[in-house]
Amino acid sequence: MYFLPAERLRLYRNFKSIEVSDFHAVIHFYEQHEDAIRSLDFEEYLDCTLIYTDALYDAADHGKHQVMCDHLLEVVIMQNVTQWGGEDLFHQLLFKKAASFYYQQEYPKAEHILKEIIRIYPSDKLAALYLNKALLHQKPRWLFQARASMVGFAFLAVLVIALEILAVPQFFPHLLEPMQQAHQLFIALSLASLSLGEAGHSLRCWFQVRRFVRKAKANKQNQTA
């Protein structure tokens, strides 16, 4: 469909008059006039589509947001757009796509994109932070085993305390002190299973990210040398 220059100007002006913070209005307007927006000059189309994509992210419509990120990444590459508003547009879109997967709790997909970002931009501390968070959410099997141990020790502690209160004072008073020591031991083992498991997982993720970033920086230096 052909749109007259005056119609395209009015369309762009009306879209830009919407407050960026009113993301539901941005989404509604863009989707209602999508065909007309595609007829705009490239810079105007890119401007509108970037605002719309950010609005999808703010509205937590992550499925549509990821689709638009893929589209815009393709546009940026095909049109060789490096900077937009003083920022690296490719970097910005890639990170937003990773963050969208993260908030959708698709942590392996977020991890994959964040690693790609760090390979290209090894000094990106925010990407490294999100990578660490994505890895933390991916619990290894041994951590679930540690949690199961915690539950087991806690159950044994409750059982010993119940015997200590109900049976030992009447029938086995000489076992009172050993039973008290036993329930304290089981409580300590329960807490240790949980804290050591969580601490071990956190340290493992931290070292993994640090090692990956260090390797990415070394590879980047070798490429520029």
Domain presence at residue 125: no
In terms of pLDDT, which residue wins out, 150 or 7?
Answer: 7
Same domain, yes or no: 216 and 170: yes
- The structural domain count of the chain equals 2
pLDDT at 25 over 80: yes
Task: Determine the Cα–Cα distance for residues 31 and 29; give it in Å rounded to an integer.
Answer: 6
| Residue 7: predicted pLDDT | 81
pLDDT at 131 over 90: yes
pLDDT band at 126 (very low <50, low <70, confident <90, very high): very high
Domain presence at residue 149: yes
| Residue 176: predicted pLDDT | 57
Q: Which domain holds residue 178?
A: 141-224
Same domain, yes or no: 101 and 197: no
pLDDT band at 138 (very low <50, low <70, confident <90, very high): confident
The string of DSSP codes covering 171-204 is H-GGGHHHHHHHHHHHHHHHHHHHHHHHHHHHHH
Rounded average pLDDT over 98-111: 96
Domain presence at residue 133: no
Rounded average pLDDT over 37-50: 94
Own/partner pairs, 16-19, CB within 8 angstroms, 24+ separation: 16/47
